[in-house]
Structure 1
């Protein structure tokens, strides 16, 4: 039983109790607090007990460390007003046990909340939760507060003290099954909670409408299935039948493979065509010269299409030029080639499928007289592996455009239309590519040119890329070729140059050109300078003259002064590796890439500053004004496709002219402040004035940087 302090003793709580008019020992509630450490008691008292009582508790306990050991077995009575604080204290902490010591304190319904009201509040909260553990706890609390637990505890204590054997039986016989039972009950309770949650999910799934959303696993599986479906299937080394005709009526290689594999020969029937057409009356040597001219001498891009290989004939004069840019190998979002570079009805490969005799005489020229270009190093081994060994040995000329690092020097506006770029050459693809080159028996020429504005980066901060390039150049030096290997390689940057297109953000002293090349004495690689060129900016574009698009299947005329947009850049006419100082329009070559929306092809226009001449270099051909008018005359329904130029002022509304050459400083080019589809340069403005018949005097008096039309 708890100790009661005599009335004569000055207790710290007495002044506060007397001040509110409470008699000593009457109508007070004894609250016994069992706690394990002093810190929890302080936190509990500070948050739930009035400030006067809290100070009294601190004065009683203080910093006494012995209280931690005596607290579980000793009682400290704290008396205070129970009209409101006792009920709030019970609701806040269920660990506080409240009782009436000695039966002297009468707790009445009129003075304080009753135990029944407290238990009813607990019952309401248990019913709201609906949980089985809370219901069991509710039953235990009711049983404990009904004073049965005190009597039962005293009875058990007396029996155990009288009979020691009962205590042993309880510990070794009763408690183990009871512990097992409690553990089982706990597992059942947890399982029941999971069943309740699952039932709620099933009920929600059955009542709510289904959302047709795929899981991540399903999406990944479908992507793998699509990739396997669209990948290029490897062709068998043993073809079902021979397509090439030979003078003896059969192929020796084909006969040898049939005998080795033990397969029966495929019966083939061939009609002799040599005497049925006048073409075969021409001597064989002359026919070879004709076929070599028709099929050979081309630059063929090998691309990957869905379930097969593809080829694109490049129309550029020198595709290996580092300055050259083309869109022959543009890709879709999945990385597959999209046709746009050559009209379908003018492909040279159509000659091979016209006749089997022509195929037999032309097929060797197709592989031996053309240069095959690859923008992905993984395509070369796969392409050679899909050919017959006799055909693969005929391939002697390669052009490679590897990508060692992703371009970040300025925005690439082609991303709006070409969402997939060639992958960066990894170490695995590089090793595989070099192994194929070393094992290839006949290589006549090999030219390597990095993608424009996708250049070599070899700084001290990029050691992996530096080792990558060093291994690449040293292995290339060991490849045996008839002609020296041509490698486009940047020159040493000027120390003052920090931001250029060819040398992307390379601090002075970090480059070291000779450090990443073989020794000059043993070097077999022929280096080709990469001239400096400015980054591209997006700007408005006005077609300077009438052109016919070569990407369209049917002849399509693009009228002069048609408004669109273009990627503009320039390079010095001297092709120097460093940016020109105090450059003017007369010493640069302007380049404009515009997009033909009708067919999806790209067309390149050039302006020669020294000669002041416009020309089209790729994707289209120039036609005269009379030819364009004759093509459009008498055709109905072309007004919307070829709108006439009735009001020239409308096409200039909102356009501003700026000098592109003077905008090549570091801060303006890197931030792209003026790159917009509402800006044109001076050559474009002058060409537009000539097309609409305004002449050049108006352009000379017009001020730069002001809108042409408000």
Structure 2
């Protein structure tokens, strides 16, 4: 729906840019900064869902056809999520049920404003992407986001929440086998999931595509029963991928990756307790700070939760690390 003249790839020699016209509307007599503040109050500083799904749809003659459908709405959750000591205190971003829950989706209502005139489009579209947290889900859309959304819109995004489904292990390797085959399975699929899928979403969120991204929360989810995990390579395979990604970007104001409970537990086993109290805290913790050198740190008494900042007892408070969160 982007008008001609508003696309970065439009050659200025062949496409005539919009000609400014005198506006008689009282709206345009307001100073630009006041207009922006009003638009931000109406459409900004919220969490906006953006997803694409392939589903059956009934046509006018009651036939069923399969088609791709966009889903977009304001999220009905409250403020920006923060991990708490008590899970009941709030709903985490991977628990969101706006798309499939009982609550009626809250429509954004911005389309008519964007279509009203070129000036309103120009002032609104950047604010829509830059001032809101964009909540994405579904591999189909996220892995092809560069083909579905204009580059200048992605460049405006400052805050993202992503729910990313992790695939099962290779079915050919599943089931009960002899010890030798099981050893190979543990090497290829240490968590009974496809770890390479982490790279798919991380590569999509490159610094080139999202240069202004300052807040990022990703949940790597499994929707099937989990078996026990006992693979010493768990720490290296996941932590190194995430560290490589975080180090390739400017420092985030907030960066968190949520992992399935069994994977989280396997990784946090590497934390060495200095006393019995810390060991108890490790077993019950729901979040772990991963420093830029790969070391893991948990919150423990007498310190209080400082998320999204690093734990207060660390010397380097400006460290470009990230939080690991546990999905129950």
Do both share a fold (TM > 0.5)? yes
TM-score, normalised by the number of residues in structure 2: 0.57
The 3-state SS of whatever aligns with 1:477 is helix
1:328 equivalent in alignment to 2:124:
no
Change (3 A) 1:274 1:506: closer
Cα distance in 2, alignment partners of residues 449 and 374 from structure 1: 11
Residue 200 of structure 2: aligned partner? 432
Residue 217 of structure 2: aligned partner? 447
State whether residues 45 and 131 of structure 2, in contact with CA within 8 Å, keep that contact through their aligned partners in structure 1.
Answer: yes
State whether residues 487 and 525 of structure 1, in contact with CA within 8 Å, keep that contact through their aligned partners in structure 2.
Answer: no
Q: Deviations over 1:262-307 (max 9, x none)?
A: xx446x88783612x1111111111111112222212122210444
Select the residue among 258, 261, 272 that pairs with 2:21: 272
State whether residues 166 and 222 of structure 2, in contact with CA within 8 Å, keep that contact through their aligned partners in structure 1.
Answer: no
Residue 476 of structure 1: aligned partner? 245
Cα distance in 2, alignment partners of residues 399 and 505 from structure 1: 20
Residue 525 of structure 1: aligned partner? 321
Residue 370 of structure 1: aligned partner? 132
Cα distance in 2, alignment partners of residues 443 and 319 from structure 1: 16
Q: Deviations over 1:246-271 (max 9, x none)?
A: xxxxx8x566x254xxxx446x8878
State whether residues 243 and 356 of structure 1, in contact with CA within 8 Å, keep that contact through their aligned partners in structure 2.
Answer: no
State whether residues 489 and 529 of structure 1, in contact with CA within 8 Å, keep that contact through their aligned partners in structure 2.
Answer: yes
The 3-state SS of whatever aligns with 1:311 is strand
**Higher RCO (CA < 8 A, seq sep 6+):** 2
Superposition misfits of 4+ residues, deviation over 6 angstroms: 268-271, 452-458
Change (3 A) 1:513 1:356: farther
Matches for 1:309-348 after TM superposition, within 5 Å = 309-318=70-79, 320-321=81-82, 323=87, 324=91, 325-330=95-100, 341-344=104-107, 347-348=109-110
The 3-state SS of whatever aligns with 2:156 is coil
Cα distance in 1, alignment partners of residues 225 and 214 from structure 2: 26
Cα distance in 2, alignment partners of residues 321 and 453 from structure 1: 23
Select the residue among 280, 283, 299 that pairs with 2:47: 299
Gaps of 5+ in 2: 54-66, 169-191, 273-287, 297-315
Residue 42 of structure 1: aligned partner? none
State whether residues 402 and 425 of structure 1, in contact with CA within 8 Å, keep that contact through their aligned partners in structure 2.
Answer: no
The 3-state SS of whatever aligns with 1:401 is strand
Change (3 A) 1:297 1:435: same
Residue 29 of structure 2: aligned partner? 281
State whether residues 484 and 525 of structure 1, in contact with CA within 8 Å, keep that contact through their aligned partners in structure 2.
Answer: no
Change (3 A) 1:454 1:470: farther
1:242 equivalent in alignment to 2:4:
yes
Q: Deviations over 1:185-212 (max 9, x none)?
A: xxxxxxxxxxxxxxxxxxxxxxxxxxxx
The 3-state SS of whatever aligns with 2:247 is coil
State whether residues 445 and 481 of structure 1, in contact with CA within 8 Å, keep that contact through their aligned partners in structure 2.
Answer: no
Matches for 1:42-61 after TM superposition, within 5 Å = none
Change (3 A) 1:477 1:455: farther
Cα distance in 2, alignment partners of residues 397 and 387 from structure 1: 16
Matches for 1:610-629 after TM superposition, within 5 Å = none
Cα distance in 2, alignment partners of residues 505 and 379 from structure 1: 25
Looking at secondary structure, tell me which structure has more strand per residue: 2
Change (3 A) 1:476 1:459: farther
State whether residues 381 and 436 of structure 1, in contact with CA within 8 Å, keep that contact through their aligned partners in structure 2.
Answer: yes
The CA deviation at 1:314 is: 0.9
RMSD of aligned Cα (Å)? 4.4
Change (3 A) 1:285 1:310: same
Compare CA radii of gyration and give the structure with the larger one. 1
Matches for 1:108-507 after TM superposition, within 5 Å = 241-242=3-4, 244=6, 253=8, 257=11, 259=13, 264-265=14-15, 272=21, 274-275=23-24, 277-305=25-53, 306-307=67-68, 309-318=70-79, 320-321=81-82, 323=87, 324=91, 325-330=95-100, 341-344=104-107, 347-376=109-138, 379-404=141-166, 426-440=194-208, 441-450=211-220, 459-460=229-230, 468-487=237-256, 503-504=261-262
Matches for 1:660-679 after TM superposition, within 5 Å = none
Gaps of 5+ in 1: 1-234, 245-250, 331-337, 407-423, 491-501, 534-710
The 3-state SS of whatever aligns with 2:203 is helix
Residue 269 of structure 2: aligned partner? 512
State whether residues 327 and 341 of structure 1, in contact with CA within 8 Å, keep that contact through their aligned partners in structure 2.
Answer: no
Q: Deviations over 1:394-452 (max 9, x none)?
A: 1222112334477xxxxxxxxxxxxxxxxx98445422322233433332221234559
The 3-state SS of whatever aligns with 1:476 is helix
State whether residues 484 and 524 of structure 1, in contact with CA within 8 Å, keep that contact through their aligned partners in structure 2.
Answer: no
